[in-house]
Amino acid sequence: MNSTVLFNTQACATKENFQVSLAGSTGTITNGTQNWHFQLDGSEQSQVLSWDENISLTGSLAILEALFGLNPGWQKISLSEKHPELEQLLGLTAEPITVQRTDFFQLRPLWVHNGMQGVTPEKWMQTKEVSHPVRPVVQEGQTLYQRYIPGLDKVLRFRVADIAKDLDIFHEWHHQPRVLKFWELDKPKEELRDYLQKGLQDSHQFPVILEFDETPIGYFEMYWTKEDRLGPYYEAEAFDRGFHFLIGNIDVLGFKNTDAILKAVCHYIFLEEPRTRRIMAEPRSDNTNVLKYLETFKAWSKLKEFDFPHKRAALLECKREAFFGNNYL
């Protein structure tokens, strides 16, 4: 790295914006009000990082995100100074402190809205004779996850749908023939308004808009499988989650974007609730595009096929350890 590189990121949990500049082995990071300096030493395979003594936790994480993000081959970075908050977050005590890539992307403050919060108490309730944990309440328009994707040079964001803001584009997407084939929601605008409103009031599932650089490009429905229609078809665990999605903006179709999006949604789901061990999916068994994709994203596996009342489905599974253990980010 011989020239200045800029890497912009926002800590989703604290709303701090960071800009990282790097010229050779010397760098600077600023959050707009404070500046810190850092230094890299070592070889391509063994980097040692030092920084100003008073650097904040989120500032240290933003530097590590920039270094790992700009250097996909780097698997670890050693720290020359102690940073008690970061060490506690990583659960490390032995010196020198070495941050492994597989560990770093499991840290929560930079990317998810609740990243500075601990695990909430597990309370249970019953819905239609199904016992399950009480689910967190989402707020209309709330940002859930965001991350700068260096390979795309875009900020990817998931936010809860805002009916007033999103209804028109949601209506347009569902009237595309390729979307209609799988979603069958080519309804009048007012019916789709009711559909989104119902989703916002449903504790087991909620509507999410996907954005690239604040431009809406797709739609997700995130759900808890225990109390979902999927729950009875396999041995659902308390915090298993699933999702349905569509890419509405045809300009971003293609493997590179879709791959980044699907890896980001897995990242979000595993970070947002640390007790989630598995993500499930149930596409139509004849959806050859999805099943072909599993050959490239091997954290996912096909468990079986089964019959829903409305379709023949393939049951897919992504385990936490398979996702984080294979450097998909």
Q: Which residues are catalytic?
A: 282
Scanning the structure block, which residue is given the tokens 């009000």?
A: 33
Q: Which residue in 262, 15, 329 sits closest to 142, CA to CA?
A: 15
Which of these, 297, 292, 288, lies nearest to 319 by C-alpha position? Answer: 297
Identify the helix (H) or strand (E) that includes residue 63: helix 57-70
DSSP 120: P
CA distance 58 to 17: 10
Beta carbons within 8 Å of 161's beta carbon, 6+ residues apart: 140, 141, 170, 196, 199, 200, 206, 207, 208, 209, 219
How many angstroms separate the CA atoms of 113 and 101, rounded?
22
Which residues are CB-contacts of 241 (< 8 A; sequence separation ≥ 6)? Answer: 222, 223, 224, 225, 269, 273, 276, 278, 279, 280
State the Cα–Cα distance between residues 247 and 218, nearest whole angstrom. 4
